Structure formats: structure tokens, C-alpha cells
Structure 1
């Protein structure tokens, strides 16, 4: 009986042990919760088959060849670099100027 009362008055047992259990138990609990989070992200991360074909490096060469065929047909000789309007310029007025210049150049 005397030792039980002495243990109840001991500050280490009264405050230290529960704090230690909280810290150690909390770390294990957090590990479990974060593992659930990462598992859920893996499931949600499954790619759409069409998107996966674009990302997959083995099929990348097929896509590059298709893009090359598209670009090959573009006529770059008649291409002009036209800058956009500045923030202080009126965009409608600037577009009209560019169109009139483009018509004169052609």
C-alpha cells in the first residue's frame, strides 16, 4: 500500500510515462496513416491507356514519327513572326495594323 501511494506521487510515472507512450505510439500511428495515404495515391495514379501510350518510352518513337509527318507538311517559307500587342496598346487597333501589313507583304 505504501509503495502504491509513492508511485502515484512520482512525477515521472504520472507525467513522463504517458508522454513517452504518446510520442512513441503517435509515431507508429502516423506511419500507418501515411501508408494508407500513399497506397491510395498509387491506386489513383493509374494512367489512362491512351495517356500511358504517350508516356511509355517504348512507344515514344511511333508518336515522334507521327509528329514528324505532321510538321513535314507545314510550309515554313511563308511564315512570319508577328508580335502581339503590348499591354498599353489597343489590341483591336494593333490587330488591324498587322492584318493590313500582312496583306501588303503577300
Structure 2
């Protein structure tokens, strides 16, 4: 009997293969549990708080759109100027000041 155990200990399949298979199979079960925890946490975070849910409600949606329209109606959308942003090697404040002075 002890000779059979020694023979198994010297066998490369038993020494390296079986632990590797156990690691791969066990790892997949472990990863499944960890990913399940992640998805459960995402479900909890996706629940809307009541204030936000009231804003998303379709019955009140038209009133919200009307409020946004009233805000945008007063803005002057035609009197804007296109100002180029600074390049990485340029000083941003200096460049923006030059753009503002050039336009006036």
C-alpha cells in the first residue's frame, strides 16, 4: 500500500495536474460568488430615491419641460462668440485673454 502512495506522489499528473484542475474549477466557483455580490450591489444602487422618481414620472414630465422652456426662453442664444481653447503648450489664461481682446 505504501508503495502505491509513493508511486502516486512521484506521478506528475497527480503532483501538478490535479491541483491545477482544482484551482481552475474552484476559482470559477469563487469568481461566480464575487460577481454575484457585484451585481446585487448594482441593483441596490439603481433604485431611485423618491424625489428623483417624482421628477421622472410621466404625468409631471410636461410641467418640467415647460419650466425648462421658460428658463431657455430668456437666454440670448444668438449673441455668442466662439473662443478657441488653449493648446497644451500654451498658457490658458493668456490665450483666452488674447481671444477676448481680439474679438472686441
Q: Answer whether TM exceeds 0.5 for this pair.
A: yes
Superposed CA deviations along residues 25-80 of structure 1, whole A, max 9, x for unmatched, are 00000010111112112222332322233334454333223334x158x368x864
Closer, same or farther in 2 for the Cα pair 1:39/1:58, shift >3 Å? farther
Larger Rg: 1
2:79 — aligned with what?
Answer: 81
The aligned runs of 1:1-106 (5 Å cut-off) are 1=1, 2-57=3-58, 59-68=60-69, 70=70, 74=73, 80-86=78-84, 88=95, 90-91=98-99, 93=101, 97=104
Closer, same or farther in 2 for the Cα pair 1:86/1:40, shift >3 Å? closer
TM score, norm. by length of structure 1: 0.63
Give distance in 1, aligned partners of 2:77 and 2:5: 93
Secondary structure at 1:90 match in 2: helix
Larger RCO: 1 or 2 (CA < 8 Å, sep 6+): 2
Superposition RMSD on alpha carbons, in Å? 3.1
Asked whether the equivalents of residues 85 and 94 of structure 1 are also in contact (C-alpha less than 8 Å), the reply is: no
Unaligned runs of 5+ residues in structure 1 are 98-106
Closer, same or farther in 2 for the Cα pair 1:27/1:59, shift >3 Å? farther
